[in-house]
Structure 1
């Protein structure tokens, strides 16, 4: 009994230190984004002037607009393709399905720098000008797999007899999909879309290789600013990025948890 109590305290302390190690840098960054000083190491009081400066910085606003444009375009495309792929792989049997299923995880496990270089080579061979189009295509490439995984997880709990019942009532395949299947998997589609949106907004490495000189996203803008030096303005900009991506991630996780409980 005493040993179990000691072990519990050790485990709790260890867990606390791990979480502290992971999140302390983020907390410090957020706190110092409100620092009324040009130097991060010295605290001189609370201020919102760095956030005000962000709202008046044309380059940052342009980078934010670029990031949102790419994120929404790539999310729409990857969600559409990923959902159809998930439904097709779930419902139908065909040759090479096992191989295709394995290839689905390649964009997830492959290092981002490798994917970035490979996409750069591909776009160069295809004679494509680096910019908006290549960024959207690149983000679609790594987002589709995540959408497929999330939607298929929702389909795994799907009762196929509902489709059979709709067919028995003379519904065609399109009507069955739109009236029965789609409403059931809609939470998975929404969660997958939010995950794709979050990944797109947060991407740096792949975007670095395929953006070109004329198109800069917000993460790339932050990276270029950090190379000069870390200022409270960068802290404020990074905090905004954290809030945006974390919000989408939380909503995505909430949708999955809510409907997984309802399914049970």
Structure 2
């Protein structure tokens, strides 16, 4: 009986941990497959997802990539960078206005912000396409229409993320700075902005990922331009090139590196403040 009780107690204490590990394994198995396939030499088989032989050809010889793939990757990166910069700037300003100020229509604005997030992408993409066509840009769909569309849907995610960070700030910290004769500008740049910065960086990373990964809205407003997700979709009809896995692995490693750097910096700052 004692052994059974101990076993039940152990299972109760470790149930959440075990479920968490199972979820992590379930999440990372597809990523592990992508990483593995980026080193796969599939030239001797039409089954691109059957591991044939280890090779680094796809990593160190971009000239061997499928035609048009490098251009599509570069286009997606440029659009994601510009969309992230504009959406983060406008979204951060909007978040400050919604959290720190009271004005007519504030509740309605908060509701409208969630509409792009709640609407299906096909609805938003077709609506933007109708807007561009009615504005006379039907024959000029391309880089700029994709960029405008990406800024539109990234903006909501930035506002919500930065708002959550602002709402959790302790107002006493700013009041303490003002009591110590800091001006409003000094208080903002030395107290408020450093505290909000993690939320802004998180919103920017989320925007970049959403923009780089988007297919439905982009496909409706791209015209003759081909982004990386559109290239993958087109290539899938003939067989996905192994270089696609290289790009996926590289993006994953870059994301991990950014998170590690941010966490290391945060811990150093916490240790410095503790001293």
Q: TM-score, normalised by structure 1?
A: 0.81
The answer on 1:233 being equivalent to 2:237 is no
Residues of 1 paired with 2:147 and 2:208: CA distance?
Answer: 12
Question: Which residue among 110, 135, 144 is the counterpart of 2:155?
Answer: 144
The within-5 A match list for 1:1-264 is 1=5, 2-6=7-11, 16-38=21-43, 39=45, 40-57=48-65, 59-128=68-137, 129-156=140-167, 157-159=169-171, 162=174, 166=178, 169=181, 171=183, 177-178=188-189, 180-213=191-224, 215-244=225-254, 250=259, 254=263
Aligned residue pair count: 261
- The 10-residue stretch of structure 1 (71-80 or 10-19) with the greater mean CA deviation from structure 2: 10-19
SS at structure 1 position matched to 2:152 = helix
RMSD over aligned Cα atoms? 3.5
Residues of 2 paired with 1:125 and 1:253: CA distance?
Answer: 44
The alpha-carbon deviation at position 209 of structure 1 amounts to 1.1
- Which of the pair has more CA radius of gyration? 2
SS at structure 1 position matched to 2:171 = coil
The alpha-carbon deviation at position 110 of structure 1 amounts to 1.9
Residues of 2 paired with 1:245 and 1:134: CA distance?
Answer: 27
Q: TM-score, normalised by structure 2?
A: 0.78
- The 10-residue stretch of structure 1 (1-10 or 220-229) with the greater mean CA deviation from structure 2: 1-10
Q: Which runs of 5 or more structure 2 residues have no equivalent in the other structure? A: none
- The 10-residue stretch of structure 1 (83-92 or 31-40) with the greater mean CA deviation from structure 2: 31-40
- The 10-residue stretch of structure 1 (157-166 or 121-130) with the greater mean CA deviation from structure 2: 157-166
Residues of 1 paired with 2:36 and 2:249: CA distance?
Answer: 9
Kept in 2, the 8 Å contact 1:135–1:211? The answer is yes
The alpha-carbon deviation at position 45 of structure 1 amounts to 2.3
Q: Which runs of 5 or more structure 1 residues have no equivalent in the other structure? A: none
